[in-house]
Amino acid sequence: MKNKLQSESLEFDTRLLSASSSPIGKPQITAVCHMDQNMKKGKRSSSRFTNVNSLDDGCLMHIFSFLSPIPVGVEFADRYNTALVCHRWLFLACHPRLWLRVDRAVKSLTESGVFPSIEEAVSAARPGDTILIGAGGFHFASNIQIDKPLCLIGGGDSPDDTTLVCSRGSDSALEFLSTCKLANLTVTAELGCCLLHRSGRLIIEDCNLQCESNPLDYLSYAIITTAGGREATLPSAAQRNGDSVSVSQTRIKGGAKAVLTSGTLALQRVRVIYAPTSILFWFDVVHQL
């Protein structure tokens, strides 16, 4: 039986790039390749279905880059849910190539996703993005407001390799108004605080927070939280569960206190390990029960 195709056109139907339920209940993305076939009279047109897993890693990562980094619902495709499909998709969905990067050597936005400063990277980031801050040298950060869920990670082997410097007299290096995570970073401040927490869940892992020595260093604090202030005397259950600070394996040096609270949060579950060269802290700042 000899049937020749008169013409073929292969194209991705992006409308069908959406999450669907697999037999095990995990989201799955399928790309449908439509092949138009002009066949002899009496023969019907057919379509060929190709699983997206047949695409190479670079093509898959390009597709994933268009997805939202945070969950948007089971009926939609997002990068979080694609990471649950299989080990390969987990690796690709969380690959550092999908992160935004801060590189002080960059003078202009010539490369997509690479920025010369933390402030520009935060401004361009989407909720749920990860920002990798390049190691080496100092990154200046003063009163940078973060009002969307982000993760900021130092690009070095240790926190000492990536330092954020807050200019003297600034209120803080970073100000958090949303859920965020910091990891593998050193943050220094003088006559201010390293981190100012307004609302949301702030997670600090394996960082160094240092208040520089100053005759007025009693005005300096590593962390200040104003979440649940007096203006919210009766916070809702969502606010009570949403505002908190969690610190783990973090060095804190200088300043009047490690944490200053002026809202309804209180320091709890404090653990300290005295190492030969530093003191490591674990603690939570949560609503009082």
Distant-in-sequence, close-in-space partners of 76: CB < 8 Å, separation ≥ 6: 18, 19, 68
Section 122-140 average pLDDT:
91
Candidate from 25-34, 47-56, 265-274 with smallest mean pLDDT = 25-34
Write out pLDDT tens, residues 146-195.
999 999 999 999 999 999 999 887 899 999 999 999 999 999 998 889 99
* Most confident of the following: 130-144, 204-218, 228-242: 130-144
Please give the angle made by the CA atoms of 199, 120 and 60, to the nearest 5 degrees.
95
pLDDT of residue 173: 95
H or E element that contains 245:
strand 244-253
| Residue pair 268/244 in contact by the 8 Å Cβ criterion | no
Q: What is the pTM of this model?
A: 0.72
In whole numbers, what is the pLDDT of the chain averaged over residues?
A: 77
User: Can you tell me the distance from the alpha carbon of 185 to that of 139, in angstroms, rounded to the nearest whole number?
Assistant: 11
User: Can you tell me the distance from the alpha carbon of 289 to that of 179, in angstroms, rounded to the nearest whole number?
Assistant: 21
Write out pLDDT tens, residues 82-123.
888 888 888 888 888 888 999 988 877 667 789 999 999 999
pLDDT of residue 109: 67
